[in-house]
Amino acid sequence: MSKKESDLVQKVETTGYEWDGIKELNNPLPRWWLYVFYSTIIFAVCYAIYYPSIPLIKGYTEGFSGYSSREELEHEMAEVQSSHATILELIKTMDVSDIQSDPKLARFATAGGASNFKVYCSQCHGSGAQGGVGYPNLSDDDWLWGGSIKQIETTIRHGIRYEADEDTRFSEMPAFGRDQILSKEQIIAVANYVSSLSGLEHEDSLIDLGAMVFAENCSGCHGDDGQGINEVGAPNLADTLWLYDNSKKAIISQIINPQHGVMPAWDDRLGDIIVKELALYVHGLGGGE
């Protein structure tokens, strides 16, 4: 056993242990330290009594304060929703063009549109709205159905080729090859002509025949100059932007048996407010007319 004894120099009792001739003094704690220590104990007890703190089998001690962080959060959320209610009601009742003209409303709605775009639209159009093969780039100025704020709203609201919506945007390019509307030679010729419109590689010897086939079968939708017509959803064939692919093989394939993408109608799914918010966000990406 250790033997406690007093240090001859300090006149303080030791702990009774010795290491290599070194003895540990058993000095008492400073009085101020003890006061602080006891104060923290008292504070902890008072805190546990005043605030909810002790878990029970069912529930917890509610404390004298009646404070609840959950209730505080619910109250704060209710305040936020209440403050937004007036703005949301304005967005719901106002025309999207009028919302765009109001800087405060436009900022609020565009921020909401950015958030909703990530949830509902980014899966197809990408997080940056730059699209992909078969999915339009929404950040450029190449629009199938028009890029005005109203046209974008209509497209989002009613979708494209979405049969469940009576007002959906609808266009359908004929299957010129599958239905034997054009011969193989005519298809190859018009594919070369279409390639020439956007400066792609083509055979000059087929341009005259291709131009004639285009004028007789394609200009009604794509226009005499091939720059497309928004009213019928016909793409611009004279620029460098392609929904699917700009290779000769892909162009011929689209003429023979065209692909027709489908976009859902979002009006019933999301409601008027979110549709308008999305329209404002998409229009503001940089390509809006």
Q: Is 46 annotated as a binding-site member? A: no
If asked whether residues 248 and 269 sit together in one domain, one would say no
pLDDT of residue 6: 60
The total number of structural domains that make up the chain = 3
Q: Is residue 158 assigned to a domain?
A: yes
Whether 150 shows a pLDDT value over 60: the answer reads: yes
User: What pLDDT was estimated at residue 25?
Assistant: 78
Q: Tell me if 231 is assigned to some domain.
A: yes
In order of 218, 234, 265, the CA distances from 284 in angstroms are 32, 23, 21
Query: pLDDT tens for residues 105-116?
Result: 999 999 999 999
Considering the domain architecture, whether residues 273 and 156 belong to the same structural domain is answered as yes
pLDDT score, position 199: 92
Residues 96 and 154 in one domain: yes
- If asked whether residues 25 and 140 sit together in one domain, one would say no
Instruction: Clarify whether residues 162 and 271 are in a common domain.
Output: yes
CATH number for the domain that contains residue 112 = 1.10.760.10
Q: In terms of domains, do 163 and 275 share one?
A: yes
Is 178 within a domain? no
In a domain, 4, yes or no: yes
Instruction: Report the SS3 class of residue 176.
Output: coil
Check whether residue 89 and residue 157 sit in a common domain.
yes
Decide if 158 contacts 167 (C-beta within 8 A): yes
Q: Are residues 77 and 13 in the same domain?
A: no
Query: Which pLDDT score, from 0 to 100, does residue 58 have?
Result: 86
Sign of CA pseudo-dihedral 147, 153, 154, 160:
positive
| pLDDT beyond 80 at 161 | yes
Residues 6+ apart with CB under 8 A from 177: 184, 187, 255, 256, 257
Alpha carbons 282 and 124: distance in angstroms, whole number:
14
Task: List pLDDT tens digits, range 189-231.
Answer: 999 999 999 999 999 999 999 999 999 999 999 999 999 999 9
What is the phi/psi pair of residue 23, to 5°? -110, 145
Give pLDDT, residue 3: 61
CA distances 199 to 195, 214, 232, 239, 249, Å, are: 6, 17, 25, 8, 16
- Contacts for 85 with CB less than 8 Å, ≥ 6 apart: none
5-48 confidence digits (pLDDT tens): 665 566 677 777 778 878 787 788 889 999 999 999 999 999 99
Of the candidates 248, 243, 244, 222, the one whose C-alpha atom is nearest the C-alpha of residue 233 is: 222
Residue 183: the pLDDT is 96
pLDDT of residue 19: 81
In a domain, 288, yes or no: no
Q: Are residues 82 and 7 in the same domain?
A: no
Is pTM beyond 0.85? Reply is no
Q: How far apart are CA 230 and CA 143, in angstroms?
A: 7
121 is in an annotated binding site: yes
* 100 and 23 inside one domain: no
* Res. 136: pLDDT tops 60: yes
Range of the domain at 249: 184-256
Residue 41 in any domain: the answer is: yes
Please check if 125 is assigned to a binding site: yes
Grouping H, G, I as helix, E, B as strand and the rest as coil, residue 29 is: coil
Which pLDDT tens digit goes with each residue over 56-104? 888 888 888 888 888 889 999 888 888 888 899 999 999 999 999 999 9
Task: With CA atoms as reference, report the closest residue to 285 among 122, 169, 162.
Answer: 122
Whether 175 maps to a domain, the answer reads: no
| 221 assigned binding-site residue | yes
**Is 2 within the bounds of a domain?**
yes
79 and 206 housed in the same domain:
no
Query: Apex CA 135: angle with CA 134 and CA 141, to 5°?
Result: 120
Same domain? 152 vs 275: yes
Domain termination residue (choose one: 43, 67, 91):
67
